[in-house]
Structure 1
């Protein structure tokens, strides 16, 4: 049950934002095998003054259209699966809605199964 948080500069269309969520979901389905309809995601839009993409940090020339993707998920996936996920997200976002791969910044937060409650105050996976 991944939970995806996406942050980007304010001003993109509702369709663009929906496409970001869908493409990231499809990339997770393809590479790390999340369940069908496991679609927990939010988008935060930030004013330009509240947004810093670190310019060319790590030798990557980012533009003002950076998309930050933070995925909280159960621990235990291999480095190979994580690399496949990063590549698939970047490729899908490049194709639709047209985000430059240089502008896709991804971080994973791994948690244990008992760290989730999906509602009703119950730890469903514990």
Structure 2
């Protein structure tokens, strides 16, 4: 936990992995996520069989360099922690992969402990009731 999904347009594998590293570093810095707690889905869309759509919502101009980052994690972070995470993701994505901060779009999806299973068909975050 958390589960991260990164979607880009026309990105090579090395850059996609670099973006994954950037987001994981930001999660460690801002939320204290441990280094080994890394679950990511990295997708580079080719613009033909799959693509990304973007607009200039809130007056922020996006272009084909846009990176969509969706993070699913357990509930409990403060607004300040989330704001720090957004800043760190934008900083790391720019420093490591050259993504302009205006092109970093992040969404957080929160859930609770019973919503996770990391294997064996068990809910590792839930105390067994036997």
Number of corresponding residues: 124
Equivalence for 2:35: 36
- In the alignment, structure 1 segments of 5+ residues that lack a partner are none
Residue of structure 1 in register with 2:81 after alignment: 81
- Cα distance in 2 for partners of 1:104, 1:74 equals 22
State the match for 1:2 in structure 2: 2
Q: Which of the pair has more CA radius of gyration? A: 2
Tell me, which stretches of 5 or more residues in structure 2 are unaligned?
A: none
| Structure 1: 4+ residue segments shifted above 6 A | none
TM-score by length of 1: 0.94
- The residue aligned with 1:90 is 90
Deviations 1:13-63 (A, max 9, x none): 221011000010010000011122111001122232532012x11110111
Aligned to 2:21: 22
Distance 1:37 1:12 in 2: 25
1:70 is matched with 70
| TM-score after normalising by structure 2 | 0.91
